[in-house]
Amino acid sequence: MTDSTYRQKSTVAQIRQRFDNDVERFANLETGQSSTVDAPLALELITSAAAVTNPHASHFVDVGCGAGNYSLKLLEKLPNLDVTLIDLSQPMLARASERVQTVSNGRIHTHQSDIRELELGENQFDIIMAAAVLHHLREDAEWTAVFQKFYRALKPGGSIWISDLVTHTAAAIEQMMVERYGRYLSELKDEAYRDHVFAYIAAEDTPRPLLFQIDLLRQVGFTQAEILHKNSVFAAFGAVKG
């Protein structure tokens, strides 16, 4: 994409406003993530992988936490974790904190912030999760800076787990997968819903190929990269800080 293409995308303020107005829908996995192919499976795989990779974890961070679905699922497996919640939307962050407090035995920290601007420190966390958030990154430099930030923030042996919208390097495969996703959305509701989802993806999102992200994880220092699941234009994957 060109710089002019990035400038045509929704601003951070516009994205924040959309999520501010949609908190309760995202608090329900069945409705909030219905436009994501295999959302419940990705949720289970990501949190299970984090739990088996770092069974003695003490602190994790949920980047773009939304209403807290990923945090809640991980806490089912590791209930004594301290939790750091990060989101652009204050109403979303408040809802996530409220829900997490009902199940967490650890401390809860919240930050209303853009991950591009928030400092995470060094060697702070055992687990980082980033679900449906990184597709808002724009230029290559932003992707690199955020992945480097994640690497620094993890303790040695810590892990990062990502579930997100992805693209494909081959144009023919990208077209095939987009059409497949379109059929999924039409069957889920109707063609008007498909067009609505495609419209906000076009307005807001700048996803990258799965292999681009795997390569970038390795470039910044991560090892043991794993692809947990991929279907259509969505993938779940992660890596370990060696």
Given this model, what pLDDT does residue 108 score?
A: 97
Evaluate if pTM is beyond 0.85: yes
Determine phi and psi for 112, rounding to 5 degrees: -85, 110
Given this model, what pLDDT does residue 190 score?
A: 97
Place of tokens 């059409």: 179
When pLDDT is cut at 50, 70 and 90, the band that residue 11 belongs to is confident
3-241 topology per CATH: Rossmann fold (3.40.50)
Q: Label the pairing between strands 234-241 and 222-231.
A: antiparallel
Residue 138: other Cβ atoms inside 10 A: 15
When pLDDT is cut at 50, 70 and 90, the band that residue 12 belongs to is confident
**Rounded mean pLDDT, 34-41:** 92
* Alpha-carbon distances, residue 204 vs 11, 14, 158 (angstroms): 8, 9, 31
- Break the chain into its structural domains and give their ranges: 3-241
Counted residue by residue, the chain has a size of 242
d(Cα 146, Cα 219) in Å, to the nearest integer?
Answer: 13
- The tens digit of pLDDT for each residue in 110-160 reads 999 999 999 999 999 999 999 999 999 999 999 999 999 999 999 999 999
- The tens digit of pLDDT for each residue in 163-207 reads 999 999 999 999 999 999 999 999 999 999 999 999 989 999 999
Strand segments (E) across 33-182 = 59-63, 82-87, 108-112, 125-131, 154-165
Determine phi and psi for 86, rounding to 5 degrees: -130, 130
The three-state secondary structure class of 209 is strand
